[in-house]
């Protein structure tokens, strides 16, 4: 029997190393290695479509719509339309992935604006959390100049993108400041970026103030974050709140919700309770901050 060519093995090993490095570097740029039995997915589909029109007594025009097999397209058909006829296409979109999805744009392509007026729900700049649904309506109004026996078409494109970043835990942020201060290891968030985050928090927060040199700021942040094991509930809340602030200014909270609340709402609630009390609510808000930080 002839021995297998060692070059093939070398090639396999090189490939494996290359793939591992690719994966590792991707993970590094996205907040570190995160081991989970579930992998993040991004997917969004139409799940329901219904139609109606503005006819009350007569039934002349007809509108029907169906979702394509892949769930990404609605095909709507309006027949026997006439001036002043209005058709409504009511749809529901569901985020069937595990990551939040951002609606980037809604574009209406109407080649015959003189004959058709198309309006649709503008989802732009809104987020859809995993398993969340959103409803929308498209209205097709046939205008006076529409011709008899005419054929018209339109398209609506809803552009979306996926939030593949996720909030990081208090431990992650503690490590970043620790590594930035001790200059050992390689922080995943550069020191300059960390300082920028603290400056942003400084200007927006009613609780946290970071002044002095970069080192002073980092030390103070590290001290606050290290208090999450403190027996004081106030210190624990502050530690989790600072981690949430860091996630927020890093843009890693966008699209996520915890307990039905956005990061902004939890920050607002936590700061209010820290400023005005009652102290009995510290535990609740600490839990909210912690829950959010651990979403990733």
Q: Binding to another protein by residue 74, rule CB under 8 A?
A: yes
Q: Which stretch binds another protein (CB under 8 A): 86-94, 179-187, 218-226, 237-245?
A: 86-94
In angstroms, how far is the first alpha carbon of the chain from the final one?
Answer: 52
Residue selected from 20, 72, 124, 202 as contacting another protein according to rule CB under 8 A = 72
Rounded Cα distance between 187 and 172, Å, is 10
Q: Indicate the burial class of 114 (C-beta count within 10 angstroms; 0-12, 13-18, 19 or more).
A: exposed
Q: Which stretch binds another protein (CB under 8 A): 3-11, 221-229, 247-255, 278-286?
A: 3-11
Rounded Cα distance between 229 and 2, Å, is 63
Choice between 156 and 263, CB closer to another protein: 156
Q: What angle do CA 180, 190, 214 make, to 5 degrees?
A: 55
Report the candidate in 241, 248, 239, 293 with the shortest Cα–Cα distance to residue 269: 241
Q: Report the site for another protein in 113-152 (rule: CB under 8 A).
A: 116, 118, 120, 138, 140, 142, 144-152
Query: Which tokens is 16 given?
Result: 């494996």
Q: For 281, what's the count of Cα atoms within 13 Å in the CB-facing half-sphere?
A: 12
CB of 17 to another protein, least distance (A): 11
Kindly report the number of other CB atoms within 10 A of residue 243's CB atom: 27
Rounded Cα distance between 103 and 124, Å, is 5
Q: Binding to another protein by residue 5, rule CB under 8 A?
A: yes
Q: Binding to another protein by residue 79, rule CB under 8 A?
A: yes
Residue selected from 47, 84, 117, 279 as contacting another protein according to rule CB under 8 A = 84
Q: Binding to another protein by residue 200, rule CB under 8 A?
A: no
Q: In what order do the strands lie in the sheet with 44-53?
A: 44-53, 86-95, 133-142, 116-120
Rounded Cα distance between 211 and 220, Å, is 9
Helix/strand/coil for 284: helix
Q: Binding to another protein by residue 93, rule CB under 8 A?
A: yes
Rounded Cα distance between 150 and 81, Å, is 9
CB of 96 to another protein, least distance (A): 11
Q: Which stretch binds another protein (CB under 8 A): 54-62, 187-195, 247-255, 266-274?
A: 54-62
Q: Which stretch binds another protein (CB under 8 A): 87-95, 192-200, 205-213, 235-243?
A: 87-95
Q: Report the site for another protein in 7-46 (rule: CB under 8 A).
A: 7-8, 11-12, 15, 18-19, 22-23, 26, 30, 42-46
Count, residues near another protein per rule CB under 8 A: 63
CB of 26 to another protein, least distance (A): 6
Query: Given the rule CB under 8 A, which residues bind another protein?
Result: 5, 7-8, 11-12, 15, 18-19, 22-23, 26, 30, 42-46, 58, 60-61, 72-84, 89, 91, 93, 104, 116, 118, 120, 138, 140, 142, 144-162, 164
């Amino acid at each position: 029997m002839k021995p297998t060519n060692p070059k093939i093995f070398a090639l396999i090993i090189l490939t494996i190393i290359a793939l591992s490095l690719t994966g590792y570097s991707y993970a590094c740029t996205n907040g570190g290695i995160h081991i989970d039995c579930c992998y993040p997915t991004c997917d969004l589909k139409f799940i329901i479509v219904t139609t109606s029109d503005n006819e009350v007594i007569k039934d002349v025009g007809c509108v029907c719509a169906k979702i394509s097999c892949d769930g990404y397209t609605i095909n709507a058909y309006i027949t026997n339309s006439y001036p002043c006829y209005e058709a409504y296409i009511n749809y529901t979109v569901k985020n069937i992935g595990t990551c939040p999805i951002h609606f980037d744009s809604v574009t209406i392509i109407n080649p015959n604006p003189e004959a058709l007026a198309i309006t649709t729900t503008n989802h732009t700049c809104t987020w859809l959390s995993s398993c969340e649904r959103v409803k929308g309506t498209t209205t097709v109004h046939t205008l006076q100049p529409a011709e008899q026996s005419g054929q018209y078409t339109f398209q609506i494109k809803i552009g979306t993108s996926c939030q593949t970043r996720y909030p990081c835990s208090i431990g992650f942020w503690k490590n970043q400041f620790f590594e930035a201060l001790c200059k050992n290891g390689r922080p995943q968030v550069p020191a300059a970026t960390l300082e920028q985050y603290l400056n942003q928090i400084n200007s927006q927060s009613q609780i946290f103030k970071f002044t002095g040199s970069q080192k002073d700021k980092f030390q103070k942040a590290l001290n606050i974050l290290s208090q999450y094991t403190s027996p004081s509930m106030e210190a624990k809340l502050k530690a989790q709140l600072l981690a949430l602030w860091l996630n927020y200014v890093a843009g890693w909270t966008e699209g996520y919700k915890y307990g039905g609340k956005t990061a902004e709402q939890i920050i607002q609630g936590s700061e209010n309770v820290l400023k005005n009390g009652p102290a009995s609510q510290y535990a609740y808000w600490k839990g909210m901050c912690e829950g959010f930080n651990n979403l990733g």
